[in-house]
Chain A
Amino acid sequence: MTSNSVQISKLRRFVVGGSKPSTTERSWYSYLLGAAWVVFLLVSALFFWSIISKSLPVWEKQPGTILTGTSWGGPYGGFPMILGTLQTSILALVLAVGVGLGAAISIVFFIPARLRLITATIVELLAAVPSIIYGVWGLLVLSPWMLAHFYPFLDSLGLTFLGSSAMATGPSILLASIVLAVMILPIFVSITREVISAVPQDLIEASLSLGATRWQVISKTVLPTARIGIMGAAFLALARATGETVAVALTIGTVSNVQWHFFYPGTTIASWIASAFGESSSVDIQALMALGVILMVISLGVSLISRWFIARQRKMLAKV
């Protein structure tokens, strides 16, 4: 407490004429608040518990197969979905970081101040767009374009490990990853922008005074300082990408086998749950819940890592 507030509370006691309020004077106000946060905690706990408990039969019967099996009938094999989630999220992250880092740096350092607000607003508007709109744009606009131009172009570069553009049908892992990258870009850019602008100004000026070029300042001073925060931003974007459902469901084609060729359809955990739910019996639904638990673990793990990075960044900047 500051010395001011200590004085004020002393004054208040003098004015009101009593010692601190007795514990029985709990107002309806604190009961109301208490009710609200207890409800929230309860529902959150129920959230985790209900999905986990519904999936218990699967963990009892086939804990290994749900993680490593490759077909969905009989013993439910979730490996194609797990693999697909990793494939799309990581590729989306690589694309988003590649473009987003440059974009964030531009916004902070190279864009004239007048344009800064507009560009920042545009990037944030991108974040508000519902994901299903990205999905239909990907399916109805981007997919035909990619089928006609982009797959053959990549083929001509000799990237045959991606598959053959002739065998491509449109929806594919590559298409889903590109749509995901567009979706997670704004998150990455806005957090990176904040982290980069938080680098103390005197560090930058010191570098400039030593005769460094603008890029040298950024690469040798700003980026190393902000590096941890940028990692945090990347992991946050990754967490978002792993959980995305409808945009991926519309653009990935959804087959249940392991897919290594990015031109061909694949699947992810979230899009598989969305697609297969309508045709699932109650036993199938248990397996889908088990997939949901796996997704929970992946997504939570990645966001925890991101939060750790961002917290470390804040601590580091507090010390500087």
Chain B
Amino acid sequence: MTDLFNTAQTNDALRAEIQEIAHKGRAARLVRSRIIIALCVAALVVAIIPLAALSWEIILRGVPVLKVAFFTQLPQVPNLANPNLTGGVSNAIVGSIALVAYASLMAIPVGVLTGIYTAENENRSASLLRLMAQTMAGAPSILMGLFAFALVCQQFGFGYSAIAGSFALAVLMVPVIIVATEIAVRNVPQTLREAGLALGARPHKVSLSIVLPTALSGIVTGCILAISRAVGEAAPVLFTIGGASLLNWKPTDPVSALPISIFIDAKSQWPSLRAIVFGIALVLLIFVFIASFTARFLVGRQQRKS
């Protein structure tokens, strides 16, 4: 057996020796390798099948539902005389817009500013904030519903209202915005910041005039993703908004929401109401996909610029 540590051996002999060892049983190993590779690719196909199946069903069953009446009419209840009387979901659309608007008003300022703080500071409070943001980002969304119920509905006495639901959604959105903002601000090259400081600008002016505009697309991306998540979440608003059969939107009024309409109608007795669910799901899907693509586009454009 060639002494591998005997440096007197020539390189060629060494290489030949190793290759001979390596080639033993190579055929069998190749076959096994190819089989497992095939399994892995099969796994990838299996991973994509649910998205394909889901999108297909939702498009197939949802498109027939999307008539003008669907968007403009208030919900009706089918009865034995009119089993197909379903009305539309205008109350849920208005309610969802109101909820997300109030939630963004609360979440975006807090989230962006906190994200800037954690990106620009390395002290103990910044680490605590980072920890809190990551913890809250992973927290189950139903707990935010419980929190909003206890605090806004009961403690503050608002009862079932849009403000309670938006509060829950804001608590959901802030950590996402913080994390995205921090990443975006940190990605601004240090040289830009130093150049600003070198020109005599105060630190906060540097942040506002130089760093923020550069990080803006990353921040906007984070906000878009947070909004798209908030629109689709049902658990935080399930027992905080109460439901409304009219176009309620005021903060103190009970409102309706698209995910809640889905949740209720999916369990309905009436096949016509169950069919509506796919229309609502399609609307939500389209919204979420547009938000995702916009986010990707913004990030891609940012990367191409820098």
Contacts and interface: CB of A to CB of B under 8 A. Distances in A.
A contact patch SS: helix
B41 interface: yes
A101 B202 contact: no
A21 B36 CA distance: 64
B44 A295 contact: no
Contact of B277 (A29, A131, A136): A136
A139 B268 CA distance: 12
A32 B143 contact: no
Nearest to A215: B33
A126 B26 contact: no
A185 B50 CA distance: 10
Contacts, number: 261
Contacts of A101: 43
- Which of A46, A47, A50, A125 has the most chain B CB within a 10 Å cutoff? A47
B234 A185 contact: no
A211 B23 contact: yes
A125 B292 contact: yes
Interface in A90-149: 98-103, 105-107, 110-111, 119, 121-126, 128-137, 139-141
B33 A37 contact: no
Nearest to B23: A211
A133 B151 contact: no
B146 A51 contact: yes
Contacts of A21: 202
Interface stretch (B2-10, B68-76, B225-233, B247-255): B225-233
Given A136-B266, A274-B142, A41 B147 contact: no
Interface residues on A, range: 35 or more
Nearest to B138: A303
Given A36-B117, A47-B144, A211-B19, A110 B54 contact: no
Given A129-B54, A270-B140, A8 B43 contact: no
B48 A40 contact: no
Interface of A: 4-5, 8-9, 11-12, 15-16, 21, 27, 29-30, 32-37, 39-41, 43-44, 46-47, 50-51, 54, 98-103, 105-107, 110-111, 119, 121-126, 128-137, 139-141, 182, 185, 189, 210-216, 236, 239-240, 242-246, 249-250, 270, 273-274, 277-278, 288-289, 292, 295-296, 299-300, 303, 307
Given A41-B128, A46-B147, A47-B136, 17 more contacts: A36-B110, A50-B150, A54-B150, A99-B47, A102-B39, A119-B44, A126-B50, A132-B281, A132-B284, A133-B54, A182-B50, A210-B18, A212-B22, A243-B141, A245-B142, A250-B267, A277-B239
19 contacts: A21-B202, A33-B116, A40-B114, A51-B150, A103-B47, A106-B41, A106-B44, A121-B296, A128-B288, A131-B232, A133-B58, A135-B266, A244-B140, A246-B235, A249-B263, A270-B140, A274-B235, A295-B140, A300-B139
